[in-house]
Structure formats: C-alpha cells, structure tokens
Structure 1
C-alpha cells in the first residue's frame, strides 16, 4: 500500500459512523387523560426498563421510514399524525463519540379493539404523562421536549383533533385542551370560539343512554381543516 493510501485510511478511521436511534413519543387521549406509550426493554445486564418506542435505522431505511415503521409495529395502523422533533446527542456507551437520537412525536386514536389488544401485550403500557417515572435521562429529555412542542403547536393549529375519535362532543375537545395545556377553560368562551372557526360540523347525532343531558356529536370539517392547515390559528382560550 502506498503512503498516500495509508494516510487516507488513517483519516477515514477517524470518522466512525455510530448508529442513529429513532425515538418516538406516541400520545393518545383516553378517559380524559393524555397518555404515552412505553415499551419494556431488557438491557445488556438483563435489567428490565420501560422506554419510549424506538429502533435503529437499518440498511435501506430512511429516518422517516424507520419512524413510520415504529408506529406501525406498535399501533398496527397507518392512520396517525407523525412529526419530527430534532436530533438529540448523548454520551455513547460503546465509544468516545456522541451518539445521536432523532426524536419524533405521534398522535394516535384508539378504539375498544386497541384497548383489548393491549391486555394481551405485556411489553407495552399506556401511562399518563403525570405518572411516568424511571425513564432514562435521554428519553426524559425527548419526552419533555415533545410535550413542549405539543403544547405550543396545539395552540396555533388544529393538530389536537388527531387525538379525538371521528365523532366527539365539545366537552371532549375542551377536556383535551385542558389536559394538554394544564389549565381550566371557560366552557362558554371555548364553545363560542370553536364554533366560530367552522372547524367542526354537527353530525346530527347525540349521546345515548346517559344520565345527563345528551350532548351533540361533532366531526372535523375536513375542507376547513385543510384550508386552516396552511395558516396559523389562535387557540388561546
């Protein structure tokens, strides 16, 4: 080998490509509580930990396709909201270099079938955001950042409706915003503001078999939702 080749080899050896991890914060809104999906993982010492849903980018995959595959693996559906957060750096366990994690947050809707399937999957748990403990520093940082982004974006866009069923009551929408923002909202002002936006439409259905006054069901006005998706809204209540 010529000296030039040896020098090139030495230079190239300085650039070690570390694996890139994709970490997904998967949110859902269930029983008036914002919850996050945690997955049971076993570390190299055999200890059991609960972590965010994650995977490494495999050969032939992209950052985006890996994130989507994580959602499909744990949710089994293609209907979800998924958005990239940013790249996070953290100390590597296997080298002197810094490892990289790219964070995403997702919002999914779940029905009764999903709840029943969870019972038979001991490696997955949905837990309220105020009840999470024991996460690694890396995943806690990603979770905290995703919550900050969710609270910011839910006040300037209609992304929050990705957490609601196809038909919902105005009270469900209000409780969703109260839970995510951690505030108490004036019911009359909220109702007036939401209806003025024409973002939702009456489904001509009401609750059945309830002990209180039956509330109307609404659905998202898809045409208006698409139009408003390209402009910043004001959801400060």
Structure 2
C-alpha cells in the first residue's frame, strides 16, 4: 500500500518555505526486529550526529513530494506506506527564529535478499528500535512520537502488513505485533482471531528446508477493500 494522507495533500496546495525540514522515520521489519534507518550528518557547527532521513523542501517541491524523494533517495524504493505525523517546532541553531519540521513515518517491506540502503548513501544504517542511541534531541522526539502512532494504528488497521513480505507465515505476523507493541501474545488466540477477520488468504505454499514443521504461507487479501481502506479493525489484544 502506498499512501499520502489527506493532511499532506491539503498542505501541498500552499507555498512551502525552504526553512521547513521534512523528517522521515523509515521502518522495516527484519527477522523479529523492528528497525529504523539512521543517517550520520553534519550539523550547522560541522559536528556529525545520527539523524532520521531528512531533507529541506526545495523550490518547486511540496511536503509530500519531498517525503517521497527522501524514501527514493535513501533506499531506492518506490513501494512503501507513507503517513504524515504532524509539525514539530524547535529552537534554531543558527538564528533566534523557531524552526519547523514535518514528520512522516514510512513502512517498507523486506524482500528475500533483505532491504538495502543505496550504495551512493554513505554513513547510513538500520538500527533496532530498542538499540537507538546518539540521536539528536529533535529527531528523538519525532521517532518516539512515530512509534506511538504506529502502535496505535496497527491495532485498528492493516498497515502493519506493509512491513511483511508478500507471502508470510502467521508466526511472522505474531512476531511483528509482539515487537511493535512490546507485549507477549497468546499464539492460539491470535491465530484464531486473525484467520476469522478475512484479512488473509492461504497462498497454498509451505516453508521449505526447515528443521521444524513447515508453516503455511499467507498473503494479504487485497480484494477486501473495506477492511484495508478503513481504520475499523479492532485487534483488541486485551487478554491475549
């Protein structure tokens, strides 16, 4: 799913100042770990700091197009879920004026070869969400806010599946939700509930070359537009 929310679209119709920075929290899910892309950049004093992927809005660009360009520039990926968070303000390092940043979070699928950063991008890395340190204060605030929004939204929509490959096992889905929400979920209850929701269909394939019992692969039911387009899903993990 590739999405620019309505807030971003409305803002695109207005003139955007070059003093506005777009900060993208780019998530991917590798193994059983939620990771975020961090880049090592110089600040106004020439000091290197770890930051979120970011850029200033350039002349002729919009808020949304700048966010798209950041995704494509850093990971060369054109298929992602993108949602605007909100505007963040912070003291300027170079003047007495307040500076503005607009935050987005993006969910990017892993593939069989693993998600890679473009070779032309130096000093960038994927970091486990619980292992992030050394981030600038303003980007730490944006990252923390985006994680809270992600936790809230995956419980009432299907956006979490944007972090999974096209075909996945139910155990992968379970691990995804446990990692993002930071809770332990009862496996049988989760399996039963998610299969009853009509979100998935059986891909008629199983794992190969595994030492344990081969698990079935499932895919997202893209024909169920009502469930996928509306935020009315209630996973309700209470009691799981």
* TM-score (norm: length of structure 1): 0.88
Structure-1 separation of matches of 2:141 and 2:105: 13
* Residue in structure 1 matched with residue 209 of structure 2 by the alignment: 209
* Residue in structure 2 matched with residue 3 of structure 1 by the alignment: none
2:20 is equivalent to residue 20 of structure 1? yes
Q: Per-residue deviation at 1:94?
A: 2.1
Higher helix share: 1
* Residue in structure 1 matched with residue 200 of structure 2 by the alignment: 200
Structure-2 separation of matches of 1:52 and 1:101: 12
Q: Per-residue deviation at 1:122?
A: 4.0
Q: Per-residue deviation at 1:223?
A: 1.0
Q: Per-residue deviation at 1:232?
A: 1.0
Structure 2: unaligned runs, 5 residues or longer: 1-16
* Residue in structure 1 matched with residue 226 of structure 2 by the alignment: 227
Structure-2 separation of matches of 1:113 and 1:212: 22
Rg larger in structure: 1
* Residue in structure 1 matched with residue 187 of structure 2 by the alignment: 187
Structure-2 separation of matches of 1:32 and 1:169: 13
Alignment of 1:71-220 (within 5 A): 71-115=71-115, 122-220=122-220
| Per-residue CA distance 1:43-84 (angstroms, 9 max, x = gap) | 244322111000000000000000010011112121000000
Structure-2 separation of matches of 1:169 and 1:61: 40
Structure-1 separation of matches of 2:40 and 2:72: 17
* Alignment CA distance shift 1:222-1:115 (3 Å): closer
Q: Per-residue deviation at 1:110?
A: 2.3
Structure-2 separation of matches of 1:149 and 1:115: 23
Stretch moving more, 109-118 or 22-31? 109-118
* Residue in structure 1 matched with residue 37 of structure 2 by the alignment: 37
* Alignment CA distance shift 1:85-1:154 (3 Å): same
Q: Per-residue deviation at 1:203?
A: 0.3
Q: Per-residue deviation at 1:116?
A: 5.7
What SS does the aligned partner of 1:222 have?
Answer: coil
Structure-1 separation of matches of 2:131 and 2:158: 26
Structure-2 separation of matches of 1:169 and 1:184: 18
Structure 1: unaligned runs, 5 residues or longer: 1-16
* TM-score (norm: length of structure 2): 0.87
Give 4+ residue runs of structure 1 displaced > 2 Å after superposition: 43-47, 110-122
* Alignment CA distance shift 1:60-1:120 (3 Å): closer
Structure-2 separation of matches of 1:50 and 1:164: 26
Q: Are the counterparts in 1 of residues 86 and 102 from structure 2 also a CA contact under 8 Å?
A: yes
**Residue correspondences, number:** 220
Structure-2 separation of matches of 1:67 and 1:18: 14
Q: Are the counterparts in 2 of residues 201 and 221 from structure 1 also a CA contact under 8 Å?
A: yes
Q: Are the counterparts in 1 of residues 44 and 94 from structure 2 also a CA contact under 8 Å?
A: no
Structure-2 separation of matches of 1:131 and 1:88: 24
